[in-house]
Amino acid sequence: MYVRKEAVLSSQIEGTQSSLSDLLLFENQQSPSVPLHDVSEVSRYVAAMDHGLKRLRRDGFPLSLRLIREMHEKLLEAGRGAQWTPGEFRTSQNWIGGTRPGNAAYVPPPPEYLNEQLGELEKFLRADRPLLPTLVKAALAHVQFESIHPFLDGNGRMGRLLIPFLLCVNDVLKDPILYPSLYFKQHRERYYALLQEVRVHGDWESWVEFFLSGIRQTANQAVQAAREILDLLEQDAAKLAGLGRARLSAAQVHTALQRHPIFSIPLIAAEAQLSYPPVARAIEHMEMLGMVTRMKREHRPQLFTYDRYLAILSQGTEPLRARDRS
């Protein structure tokens, strides 16, 4: 769920309007409340992260430019990004801001320099020297990736995806349970301004200080959210323990809800490997206990939400308003 939260936040920085609830509805093959292409972009971010981690852990694939290209292909393989050569480094000039390179806020390196610069970035990512703290290395790698801007589209999302990914590669995190895009979203103008300050004035120190402050703040928020979730799960498990014979199936359903806080009874039945009737009875008990709520909708199947759990996860994921994106 934390990966999904990071996916939502990173995509919101680029202007998508998908919320975490919209993403979960989409994953339930239900219609979200925002344009479908917005939610599809968020879903592909999750797919790109999953792909990268599987290649590393299951296939023993090294952190490399090839892996970055594979993840980018997953990120842009459908929808609006499909026309921008997913998984391929650009062969033409791009720019940031403005209508052409001549009036752009920033012009990345010409394509004939990409191989050299990306090769240097790859060596830096895989090198044991210099001995830098992993968080500092991630900070430097992020701004360098964004400055090279190696793809025609998706560079911002791909660059932010690399932050928790690098922390997993270097065993700082077991799983990508950090969502730094919350801090970048909350300080969006400063985030972009400091990236530009590195490019124009070489002010790496201010960027690294900002980056580390964001990681610290986001990590504290993630821990606090985890504590709130654990407290909630313990409280709800205690409620379910008093259901008599129904408590065992209710406990299995409760575990499944942690993976699917927006759900249908057939989905939870499949996830918990139970038949429909005991799941339906468990959900009915949970409704009476105030744990889950029926969503008001005309279409079938009937959907429910694990309200308090979803509320904790959704903190900070409200889409940016139009004036906030300008």
**Does residue 324 lie in a domain region?**
no
So what's the pLDDT on residue 79?
62
Identify whether the C-beta of residue 142 lies closer than 8 Å to the C-beta of residue 162: yes
Q: Which residues of the chain have pLDDT under 70?
A: 79-82, 298-299, 321-326
**Does residue 320 lie in a domain region?**
no
So what's the pLDDT on residue 30?
82
**Does residue 113 lie in a domain region?**
yes
Residue 182 contacts by C-beta under 8 Å, 6 or more apart in sequence? 5, 6, 9, 218, 221, 316, 317
Choose one of 164, 190, 220: the last residue of a domain. 220
Q: How many residues does the chain have?
A: 326
So what's the pLDDT on residue 326?
35
**Does residue 318 lie in a domain region?**
no
Choose one of 220, 255, 279: the last residue of a domain. 220
Closest CA to 148 of 93, 214, 87: 93
pLDDT digits (tens, 9 = 90+) for 14-34: 988 899 999 999 988 888 888
Q: Which residue reads 């979203």 in tokens? A: 185
Whether residue 282 sits in one domain with residue 195: no
Whether residue 306 sits in one domain with residue 189: no
Whether residue 120 sits in one domain with residue 235: no
So what's the pLDDT on residue 322?
46
Mean pLDDT of the chain: 92
210-217 long-range contacts, CB within 8 A, separation 24+: 211/135, 211/138, 211/139, 211/142, 212/135, 212/136, 212/139, 213/183, 214/180, 214/183, 214/184, 214/187, 215/135, 215/178, 215/180, 215/183, 217/183
Print the domain residue range for 270: 222-313
Whether residue 281 sits in one domain with residue 140: no
CA-based torsion, 56, 57, 58, 62: positive or negative: positive
pLDDT digits (tens, 9 = 90+) for 189-222: 999 999 999 999 999 999 999 999 999 999 999 9
Whether residue 240 sits in one domain with residue 210: no
Choose one of 220, 235, 268: the last residue of a domain. 220
Whether residue 125 sits in one domain with residue 241: no
CATH value at residue 307: 1.10.10.10
